[in-house]
Homo-oligomer: A and B are copies of this chain.
């Protein structure tokens, strides 16, 4: 259960301080003197978290991170000496999880490591329950649509039809397939479909959106690009 932390720093004193603090916090610590050692050790051991100094000769922390990230999502915490060094640590290319600037308090380092480690087992954040198509959004739970942030109230049937369109944005729906998809295959007149289309168009036009639904002559209707 006690976590295995791999620490890479070229400064012996720092290594000692960190090692002492982490072991005191019940973690298993492995120390690397440079990036090369860290990468090699990582390849053959199961590590729960890496602590990487950015400023190391030869292979610096960022490069180590890049290398690690090719094969692993193991959390990485960076140590940096100056603020300007830490460009994009938390950003896209690198993929760090947090950073600490030197000088740091060992206690803070431990605290931050614990935070990151807890995250691994934490629940994923709530998923946004909406379908998106350009400026159009379908809010399933709220049973409502928005266009460019404007709420557009739809009746149950209109909502079902629009939802059908958004779920297959580029597809052309014949009136028959609308009957099957938005209703339960009940037969209704083609005029009924037209009528609902008209109402939907009207409501969106009122919100400033012309041309949400396009007519494909002789075939049916489809959702426009509507960006």
Which A residues fall within an 8 A CB radius of B? 11, 13-17, 19-21, 23-24, 28-32, 36-37, 39-44, 67-68, 71, 81, 86-92, 95-100, 102-107, 112, 115, 118-119, 122, 125-126, 128, 130, 132, 134-135, 137, 139, 141-144, 146, 148-151, 155-156, 168, 170-172, 216-219, 222
CB-based contact B17/A97 at 8 Å: yes
With both chains docked as a complex, state the minimum distance between the C-beta of A168 and any C-beta of chain B, in angstroms: 7
A43 adjacent to B146 (CB under 8 Å):
yes
Q: Which residues of B contact A115 (CB under 8 A)?
A: 20-21, 24, 106
Q: Measured between alpha carbons, how far is A122 from B29 in the docked complex, in Å? A: 14
Identify the closest chain B residue to A144 (Cβ).
B44
**Of B112, B118, B151, which contacts A44 at CB under 8 A?**
B151
Q: In whole angstroms, what is the CA distance A68 to B156 when docked?
A: 28
**Are B96 and A103 in contact, CB atoms less than 8 angstroms apart?**
yes
Beyond contacts A13-B91, A44-B139, A155-B218: 5 other A-B pairs, Cβ-Cβ < 8 A, are: A28-B126, A37-B130, A41-B137, A67-B148, A142-B170
Copies in the complex: 2
Name A91's closest neighbour in chain B (CB-CB).
B102
Most buried by B among A100, A104, A143: A143
A90 touches B102 (CB 8 A): yes
Q: Which of A37, A97, A118, A119 has the most CB of B within 10 A?
A: A119
A146 to chain B, nearest CB (A): 5
With a cutoff of 8 Å between Cβ atoms, the chain B residues found around residue A44 in the complex are 139, 142, 144, 146, 151
A144 to B86, alpha carbons, bound, how many Å?
A: 36
- Checking B20, B90, B141 against A103 with a beta-carbon cut-off of 8 angstroms, the contacting residue is B90
Q: How far is the CB of A46 from chain B (nearest CB, A)?
A: 12
